[in-house]
């Protein structure tokens, strides 16, 4: 088993006249929390969407767990072991919290139409397993008491947690979080930080896009900085903070 | 610590026993409904065979609505051409059991064939429309429904496949061994007329379709359908192969339509393209929406209501006018549609989620009171 979980080589993505990503290469090692920061519009979410198959990339390749991700559809990326959350939370609002997590188990279960109609023994066992795992995950992220509430009636922080639980339900190797602390107050952010640290302790690799610099610097093992679609730095948090290029990108040059 | 734990388990026990009581009373209620529905045929028959016939067509529409509910209610894909699958099922039955081609296969072979052909038609319709949603999907499905009807209308030359607008006549009724669905049988003092036999057959099919629907709804596939309805991108990213799951919704919905169509052809004894106009698609959709999209019982109630109310009006409007004014002022047909339209508008104004909405929606409406 190699140490590198995800390797992106010279990823390029263009939207019409805008070069959103230009030759971005990066490697994420197993078990680390890898931060991705950059000013607004730097291409962070675009890179995310390329990794998770929502956008087809124009050039470059992605190796995940040693094998190349083809220009794959999102569901096969999820099957390969990358799970994600969204910057603007995307839950199944009219399903309960528990059902949301149960949907996440879809990719790891097999029952089809006939199994469902005939209620075969295998289908019932699988269904019980799905239910059990969903309950465990809700407990894990700390919202077990909201299991039967509709997702859209949860508080903002709980919705974030639910999205993470749903992502975890796919048994990912890499969990990609797109600005999980956006809009959270200090208490919620602290709780989120505990949750992410717990994930690392349990052996998960995390890719984190975040604007909250304190959170990124405190949590991440390594940080990459994007600016205008290019990677301008990749290093340990302290080194990145001292990097003159990064300071220029964030604060502008001194004319 | 100990007290809390025992407290919790007591609560759980109470919960468990209450659930058992609920399940028991639920089962009793279901049993009662079944008995009532089974006896209804004879009550109806005493009011005239016409009413049994009307009920049979109502059950056919319930079946159609349940099929469409999979596509529209569960998966959230707006389908305005659903009647096409009904047409496919009906024509498959007509072609395989009539003098038109001289084929007379038994119904228990044709109905599955009809379902399979309709299922295929569902996939044919579904495949090119996978990227479409909402209004755009509605337009394409509307077009598909019209194409099927126009095909039925024109496939009479050079090879006479469908007999064109004249339709196909003298379709075989169902027959199980010596039991013919076209004739009456007497058992003791009970008279089983043809429509009554069809009634019981339809009830069996309906029961099966309800069970299948319920089970699909609570399954991995059913959850995937609802997830796609709620947020397709999140569903995709969560590992659902949205293409296949949507196709599955189209295929399942179409199969139910195909089975209903086959039974329609047998009961009616005659099919023509006229039975499968756009109006019928809209009617079935209205049943689903009026009853409560996504809720099986609501959809059944909606379909039953929209099937019976026009018939009731047909039988009451004319006598009522004669009794009140001594003569016929407004043509019953006109008034019927007027009342019907008004009822639809009022329902949608005051119960936008349908008469009997899906639990999720109901829970949402009640939330303020809790």
pLDDT digits (tens, 9 = 90+) for A101-135: 999 999 999 888 999 999 999 999 999 999 999 99
Whether the pLDDT of residue A1 is over 80: the answer is: no
Nearest-neighbour CA in chain A from B370: distance (Å):
13
Counting residues of chain B whose pLDDT is more than 70, the rounded percentage is 90
Mean pLDDT of the A44-67 span: 90
* B84: in domain: yes
Question: What gap in Å lies between CA B29 and CA B19, rounded to an integer?
Answer: 15
Residue of A nearest to B361 (CA): A94
pLDDT digits (tens, 9 = 90+) for B168-198: 999 999 988 888 888 787 777 777 788 888 9
Structural domains of chain B, count: 1
Whether the pLDDT of residue B8 is over 50: the answer is: no
Q: What is the pLDDT of residue A140?
A: 95
Q: What angle do CA B119, B122, B123 make, to 5 degrees?
A: 95
* B36: in domain: no
Whether the pLDDT of residue B254 is over 70: the answer is: yes
Least confident of A53-57, A214-218, B360-364: B360-364
Whether the pLDDT of residue A91 is over 60: the answer is: yes
Whether the pLDDT of residue B237 is over 50: the answer is: yes
Mean pLDDT of the B276-291 span: 91
Residues of the domain holding B135: 49-286
- A224 — contact with chain B (CB < 8 Å)? no
Q: What is the pLDDT of residue A205?
A: 95
Q: How confident is the model at residue A166 (pLDDT cuts 50, 70, 90)?
A: very high
pLDDT digits (tens, 9 = 90+) for A202-252: 999 999 998 888 888 889 999 999 999 999 999 999 998 888 888 888 877
Mean pLDDT of the B349-366 span: 68
Strand partners, B91: none
Q: What is the pLDDT of residue A7?
A: 93
Mean pLDDT of the A86-110 span: 94
* B42: in domain: no
Whether the pLDDT of residue B44 is over 80: the answer is: no
Counting residues of chain A whose pLDDT is more than 70, the rounded percentage is 98
Quick check: helix, strand or coil at residue B103? Answer: strand
Q: What is the pLDDT of residue B369?
A: 39
ipTM rounded to 2 decimals: 0.93
Question: What gap in Å lies between CA A232 and CA B259, rounded to an integer?
Answer: 63
Q: B220 and A94 in contact by Cβ < 8 A? A: no
The answer to whether residues B136 and B143 touch, using CB atoms and an 8 Å cutoff, is no
Using the CB atoms, write b or e for B310-325: b if 16+ within 10 Å: bbebeeebbeebeeee
Q: How confident is the model at residue B368 (pLDDT cuts 50, 70, 90)?
A: very low
* B298: in domain: no
pLDDT digits (tens, 9 = 90+) for B262-277: 999 999 999 999 999 9
Q: How confident is the model at residue B367 (pLDDT cuts 50, 70, 90)?
A: very low
Q: B216 and A86 in contact by Cβ < 8 A? A: no
* B55: in domain: yes
Name which of A97, A100, A117, A127 to mutate to probe chain B: the one with the most chain B Cβ atoms within 10 A of its Cβ: A117
Q: What is the pLDDT of residue B19?
A: 56
Tell how strand B185-187 and strand B190-192 pair up.
Answer: antiparallel
Mean pLDDT of the A78-86 span: 93
- A124 — contact with chain B (CB < 8 Å)? no
CB-CB neighbors (< 8 A) of A52 in chain B? 237
* B311: in domain: no
Cα–Cα distances (Å) from A33 to A62, A68, A182, A222, in that order, read 18, 22, 18, 7
Name which of B233, B236, B360 is nearest A94 (Cβ-Cβ): B360
pLDDT digits (tens, 9 = 90+) for B307-318: 888 888 878 877
Which residues of chain B approach chain A closer than 8 Å at the C-beta?
212, 215-216, 218-224, 226-227, 230-231, 233-242, 248, 252, 360-361, 363-364, 367
* B83: in domain: yes
* B128: in domain: yes
Whether the pLDDT of residue B336 is over 80: the answer is: no
Nearest-neighbour CA in chain B from A190: distance (Å):
26
């Amino acid at each position: 088993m190699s140490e590198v979980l995800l390797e992106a080589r010279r990823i390029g993505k263009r939207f019409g006249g805008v070069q959103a990503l230009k030759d971005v290469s990066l490697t994420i090692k197993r078990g680390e929390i890898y931060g991705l920061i950059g000013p607004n519009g730097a291409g962070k979410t675009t890179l995310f969407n390329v990794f998770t198959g929502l956008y087809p990339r124009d050039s470059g390749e992605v190796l995940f767990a040693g094998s190349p991700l083809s220009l794959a559809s999102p569901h096969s990326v999820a099957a390969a072991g990358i799970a994600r959350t969204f910057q603007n939370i995307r839950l199944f609002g009219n399903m309960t919290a528990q059902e949301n997590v149960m949907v996440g188990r879809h990719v790891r279960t097999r029952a089809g139409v006939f199994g469902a109609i005939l209620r075969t023994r295998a289908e019932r066992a699988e269904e019980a397993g799905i239910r059990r795992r969903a309950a465990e995950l809700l407990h894990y992220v700390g919202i077990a008491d909201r299991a039967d509430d509709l997702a859209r009636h949860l508080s903002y922080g709980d919705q974030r947690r639910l999205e993470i639980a749903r992502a975890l339900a796919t048994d990912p190797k890499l969990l990609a979080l797109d600005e999980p602390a956006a809009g959270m107050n200090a208490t919620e952010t602290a709780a989120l930080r505990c949750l992410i640290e717990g994930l690392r302790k349990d052996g998960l690799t995390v890719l984190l896009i975040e604007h909250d610099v304190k959170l990124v610097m405190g949590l991440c093992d390594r940080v990459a900085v994007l600016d205008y679609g290019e990677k301008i730095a990749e290093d340990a948090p302290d080194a990145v903070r001292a990097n003159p290029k990064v300071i220029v990108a964030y604060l502008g040059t001194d004319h | 610590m100990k007290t809390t734990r025992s407290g919790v388990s007591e609560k759980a026990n109470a919960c468990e026993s209450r659930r058992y009581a609920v399940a028991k009373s639920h089962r009793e209620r279901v049993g009662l409904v079944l008995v009532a529905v089974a006896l209804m045929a004879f009550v109806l028959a005493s009011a005239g065979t016409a009413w049994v016939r009307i009920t049979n067509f109502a059950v056919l529409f319930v079946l159609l609505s349940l099929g469409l509910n999979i596509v529209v209610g569960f998966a959230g894909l707006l389908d305005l051409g659903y009647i096409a699958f009904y047409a496919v099922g009906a024509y498959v039955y007509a072609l395989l059991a009539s003098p038109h081609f001289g084929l007379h296969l038994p119904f228990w072979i044709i109905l599955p064939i009809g379902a399979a052909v309709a299922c295929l038609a569902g996939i044919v319709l579904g495949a090119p429309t996978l990227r479409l949603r909402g209004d755009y999907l509605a337009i394409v499905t509307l077009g598909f429904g019209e194409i099927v009807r126009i095909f039925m209308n024109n496939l009479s030359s050079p090879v006479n496949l469908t007999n064109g607008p004249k339709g196909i006549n003298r379709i075989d009724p169902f027959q199980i061994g010596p039991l013919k669905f076209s004739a009456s049988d007497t058992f003791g003092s009970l008279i089983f007329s043809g429509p009554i036999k069809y009634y019981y057959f339809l009830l069996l099919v309906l029961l099966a379709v309800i069970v299948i629907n319920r089970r699909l709804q609570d399954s991995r596939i059913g959850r995937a359908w609802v997830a796609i309805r709620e947020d397709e991108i999140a569903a995709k990213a969560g590992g659902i192969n949205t293409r296949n799951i949507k196709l599955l919704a189209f295929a399942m919905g179409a199969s139910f339509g195909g089975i209903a169509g086959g039974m329609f052809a047998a009961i009616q004894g005659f099919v023509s393209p006229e039975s499968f106009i756009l109006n019928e698609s809209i009617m079935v959709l209205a049943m689903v929406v009026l009853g409560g999209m996504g809720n099986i019982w609501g959809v059944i109630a909606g379909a039953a209501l929209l099937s019976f109310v026009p018939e009731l009006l047909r039988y009451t409007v004319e006598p009522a006018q004669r009794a009140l004014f001594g003569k016929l002022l407004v043509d019953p047909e006109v008034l019927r549609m007027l009342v019907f339209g008004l009822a639809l508008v009022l329902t949608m104004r005051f119960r936008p989620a349908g008469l009997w909405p899906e639990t999720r929606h109901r829970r949402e409406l009640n939330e303020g009171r809790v």
